[in-house]
Structure 1
Amino acid sequence: MVNPVHLRTLVEVTRLGSFAAAATRLGYTASAVSQQMSALERDTGVVLFQRSARSVQPTDAAQVMTRHASKVLTDIDALLAASSRTHAATSQELRLGIFPSLATYVLPRLLRSPSWPDLGINLKVSVAEPGQTIQGLRTGGELDVALVYQVGQSGLAWPHTVSRQWIGDDNFRVVLPKSWGIQANAEVNAAQLNDVPWIMHHPGTPDAMVIERLFASCNLHPQVAVHSDDFNASLQLASVGLGAALVPELALQNRPDGVVVLDVPEIRLARNIFALLINDKATAQVGVFVDRLSGILNELSRDTRLG
């Protein structure tokens, strides 16, 4: 089944002429756009792009598919809107498991949108970390959809009886105390951060192991001043000068005034966010629900980078 998110990405890639430009427009990484287009090629059995070291060129098949994709996406939106109006009295119950930062900054925006009542979903929400949320899918009665994240190959596992849909990346950013006098978006490399105190995850946690490997690959050996697994606490402690921190962009939606956000080129890490869906609950309504969450997530990510 072709993912409508991938069709939207195809339209932007073809219109703008590159994965990088489409990534900027949609709020993805260029790698994520490339992965989506590869998945679309697998799903359709069609070569859409001729790739080289320096460029990607849409094939004739991509141009044809783009024209059809634009119409399909318009028809999907119109069909769902008409269906919602026709069946306004009926709604689908959706038992949703969601991790805290997505529940804090993304889901409320969808629920406040004028179009939310038309979607026809009666939402039941459980907020928990991914490991606990996935258990709700495994037990076969507590949840229909789980929104989870994975950092690197962190060992997160899900049942084979569910389908997985990528909805976006929550990129990590380096945060420093403003009192250190470094300007936001200053050019800083990883080696320059060796001699400063850091706020790090507790040793042995999955995120800590991924971050430690990443830092080691950058020849960064942090002097740990604070251990914290809570990103909001890490931000507050950074704001009063206790150390630098590596924090995902969603947490930065509520960053305090006393920090600056840097983009350190060597430090590239993201929480890859997925929707895990019980197959018989993956209706068109649920597909639009997940698609709209993806759009909000990537809009927030884009605003964070521009800010």
Structure 2
Amino acid sequence: MAEFTLVGLRVVRAVTRHGSFSTAAEWLGYTQSAVSRQVALMEQAAGRPLFERHARGVVPTEAGRLVVRHAEGVFSELDAARQALGDLDGSRGGRLRVGAFSTAMAALVPDAIAAVTTADPRLHVVPREGSSASLLTALARGRLDVAVVTLPDRTPDGVSLITLVNDPLLVAVPHDHRLAGRGQVSPAELRDLRWVAGSADVRATLLGAWADSPWEPDIRFGVRDWMAKLGLVAAGLGATIVPGIAVSALPPTIAVVGIDHPRAIRSVTLATPTGTDEVAYRGLFTEALVDSAAQLSARVRRRLRE
């Protein structure tokens, strides 16, 4: 009977991330047949399919997602072992495992990483991008040292939260749009815009700014990737919502406008585990995040005044 192997788990994780056997093979440097063979062996070990095959790619089954979650833990522990072995002779610096949601990875977290690694070049920062919910789970299970998340509805056990910034939500429009140059607009002035969003779910994709409005935004395009969203906006095909912390990463073809609404804001929070030994560099990284958040907030204010 087949058993789980590190090679097989690494292949299953890559196929899940890329949604394609061929793309995973290219990324891993394997042949497609080798990837298919490893997936087949892991499915034998699991005793059930790990992927649903479709014409345009593959999607993990519930069993596949379960295997990948546990594989992430296995690889995290192996990384920790390698780090500990490297630290035995004192020649290597520490390691800090940092999680963050996607737009926090645009500037907030990279700026903080740059600051702490400049202060100590021996520090090895391991970034992980994901949803706030998945990052909080990873943090509670000891797979992350810190996580930058949006304020959760419920704080998981074993996690403490510190607000980094109350981040304004902005409307991104083409640089020659009629609203470009406006510092702030009311929701009523946005009624006739076409929108680019992550899905057709208005309440989720526009982050609550219109929860009490008598009208709903006209969502013309549903795309999840941020580069795709901004490309559609720059082409004049619609507007989208962007968080303030991502403004410095926007191209010059995009203008941003503030929203005069109390719900047009989102708390960006630093999550750390409670009841554990202090991790080296976590305090330094926290200070760098606070500084980065303050600098980004200042950039947002300057850009809205332009």
The answer to whether the superposition gives a TM-score over 0.5 is yes
Question: Given the alignment of the two structures, is residue 149 of structure 1 paired with residue 145 of structure 2, yes or no?
Answer: no
**Quick one: distance in 2 between partners of 1:215 and 1:302?**
26
The one-letter code sitting in structure 2 at the alignment partner of 1:160 is: D
Q: CA deviation at 1:284?
A: 7.6
Contact 2:106/2:246 (CA < 8 Å) preserved in 1? no
Question: Given the alignment of the two structures, is residue 165 of structure 1 paired with residue 166 of structure 2, yes or no?
Answer: no
Q: CA deviation at 1:186?
A: 5.3
* Superposition map of 1:154-303 within 5 A: 155=153, 157-185=154-182, 188-204=185-201, 207-208=204-205, 210-211=207-208, 214-266=209-261, 268-279=263-274, 280-282=276-278, 285-303=281-299
* Superposition map of 1:71-86 within 5 A: none
2:127 paired residue number: 125
The one-letter code sitting in structure 2 at the alignment partner of 1:199 is: V
Q: CA deviation at 1:275?
A: 1.8
Identity %: 23
Matched residue SS, 1:170: strand
The 1:141–1:291 alpha-carbon spacing in structure 2 relative to 1, beyond 3 Å, is: same
How many pairs are equivalent? 213
Contact 2:196/2:221 (CA < 8 Å) preserved in 1? yes
* 1:69-112 residue CA offsets vs partner (Å, 9 max, x unmatched): xxxxxxxxxxxxxxxxxxx9785432222223323312332333
The one-letter code sitting in structure 2 at the alignment partner of 1:295 is: D
Q: CA deviation at 1:196?
A: 2.3
Matched residue SS, 1:146: strand
2:96 paired residue number: 94
* 1:161-185 residue CA offsets vs partner (Å, 9 max, x unmatched): 1222222233211122234333412
**Quick one: distance in 1 between partners of 2:120 and 2:184?**
46
The root-mean-square deviation of aligned C-alpha atoms, in Å, is 3.0
Contact 2:147/2:271 (CA < 8 Å) preserved in 1? yes
The one-letter code sitting in structure 2 at the alignment partner of 1:237 is: L
**Quick one: distance in 1 between partners of 2:132 and 2:202?**
14
**Quick one: distance in 1 between partners of 2:241 and 2:186?**
14
| Structure 1 alignment gaps of length 5 or more | 1-87
Q: CA deviation at 1:217?
A: 1.9
Q: CA deviation at 1:239?
A: 1.2
The 1:266–1:229 alpha-carbon spacing in structure 2 relative to 1, beyond 3 Å, is: same
Q: CA deviation at 1:250?
A: 2.5
TM-score relative to the length of structure 1: 0.59
Q: CA deviation at 1:220?
A: 4.2
Contact 2:206/2:241 (CA < 8 Å) preserved in 1? no
* 1:187-217 residue CA offsets vs partner (Å, 9 max, x unmatched): 6332222122122331448733743xx3142
Q: CA deviation at 1:304?
A: 1.8
**Quick one: distance in 2 between partners of 1:185 and 1:299?**
22
The one-letter code sitting in structure 2 at the alignment partner of 1:215 is: W
The 1:114–1:187 alpha-carbon spacing in structure 2 relative to 1, beyond 3 Å, is: closer
* 1:37-64 residue CA offsets vs partner (Å, 9 max, x unmatched): xxxxxxxxxxxxxxxxxxxxxxxxxxxx
The 1:121–1:251 alpha-carbon spacing in structure 2 relative to 1, beyond 3 Å, is: same
**Quick one: distance in 1 between partners of 2:125 and 2:187?**
44
Contact 2:104/2:246 (CA < 8 Å) preserved in 1? no
Question: Given the alignment of the two structures, is residue 104 of structure 1 paired with residue 106 of structure 2, yes or no?
Answer: yes
- Greater Rg by CA: 2
The one-letter code sitting in structure 2 at the alignment partner of 1:175 is: A
TM-score relative to the length of structure 2: 0.59
| Structure 2 alignment gaps of length 5 or more | 1-89
The one-letter code sitting in structure 1 at the alignment partner of 2:132 is: P
Segment of structure 1 superposing worse, 294-303 or 283-292: 283-292
